[in-house]
A and B are shown apart, each in its own frame.
Chain A
Amino acid sequence: GENVEQHPSTLSVQEGDSAVIKCTYSDSASNYFPWYKQELGKRPQLIIDIRSNVGEKKDQRIAVTLNKTAKHFSLHITETQPEDSAVYFCAASTLTFGKGTMLLVSP
């Protein structure tokens, strides 16, 4: 079955810095890669997704890149703000999630 590895498990940055979270997947047939944000005590919510026919996608301060050959994809958050503090999950489809990255943005 599919396996998704996510790094780092925790990430601390200063407000205004950029943050990068990386994921790898094992099944070359996977074609949909969503990213979810989960605030403490809340449900995961989609922030951005990318399909295998696209290499990069941006939405304001967040972007996702996909390298199908290497089977890895990354989340980039620029100009981080304290409200970006949360746990971020990558996934390959809705079936397999990474273990999450706790992002802490300090003012």
Chain B
Amino acid sequence: DAGVIQSPRHEVTEMGQEVTLRCKPISGHDYLFWYRQTMMRGLELLIYFNNNVPIDDSGMPEDRFSAKMPNASFSTLKIQPSEPRDSAVYFCASTPTGTSAEAFFGQGTRLTVV
């Protein structure tokens, strides 16, 4: 398996635009996590899914953020409208057996909102 795959690797967008980040988990992994990493706040969980169903979205900062998982091999994180304070590295990770297992991270998407 190629591991967790995220796209794009880098995204630069203007304030107010819609941004969509994509993630393909490792095949067979039933849990998918979205994190945001900044210098100030570290690595924060935004939302996680089990078998494509959102389990906990309490980390989603605002209604501008939304996440979906239409099938077992694809998830999106959307920001609409984007703001400069959304600039961060967004990681997707997957685990085979839940929240008490090794998380396999994608390479991340570095988002810059200008």
Residues of chain A having any CB pair with chain B under 8 Å: 1, 31-32, 34, 36, 42-46, 49, 51, 89, 93-100
Instruction: Report the separation of the CA atoms of residues A84 and B51 in the bound assembly, to the nearest whole angstrom.
Output: 36
Residue of chain A at shortest CB distance from B59: A95
A-B contact pairs, 7 of them (CB 8 A): A44-B43, A44-B105, A46-B103, A94-B103, A97-B44, A97-B45, A99-B42
Q: How far is the CB of B73 from chain A (nearest CB, A)?
A: 19
Q: Kindly list chain A residues whose C-beta atoms are within 8 Å of the C-beta of B95.
A: 94
Q: Kindly list chain A residues whose C-beta atoms are within 8 Å of the C-beta of B25.
A: none
Instruction: Report the separation of the CA atoms of residues A93 and B93 in the bound assembly, to the nearest whole angstrom.
Output: 13
Binary CB contact string for chain B from 29 to 60 against chain A (1 if under 8 A, 0 otherwise):
00101000000011111001000000010100
B105 and A94 within 8 A (CB): no
A44 and B102 within 8 A (CB): no
B42 and A46 within 8 A (CB): no
B108 and A97 within 8 A (CB): no
Residues in B94-114 with C-beta less than 8 Å from chain A: 95, 99-103, 105-108
Q: How far is the CB of A49 from chain B (nearest CB, A)?
A: 7
* B105 interface neighbour in A32, A45, A93, A95, Cβ under 8 Å: A45
Instruction: Report the separation of the CA atoms of residues A49 and B99 in the bound assembly, to the nearest whole angstrom.
Output: 13
Q: Which of B33, B48, B106, B108 has the most CB of A within 10 A?
A: B108
B102 and A34 within 8 A (CB): yes
Q: Which of A1, A45, A93, A94 has the most CB of B within 10 A?
A: A94
B43 and A100 within 8 A (CB): yes
Q: How far is the CB of A79 from chain B (nearest CB, A)?
A: 25
B91 and A43 within 8 A (CB): yes
B43 and A97 within 8 A (CB): yes
* A94 interface neighbour in B44, B58, B99, B107, Cβ under 8 Å: B99
Q: Kindly list chain A residues whose C-beta atoms are within 8 Å of the C-beta of B58.
A: 1
B43 and A95 within 8 A (CB): no
B102 and A98 within 8 A (CB): no
Q: How far is the CB of B39 from chain A (nearest CB, A)?
A: 9
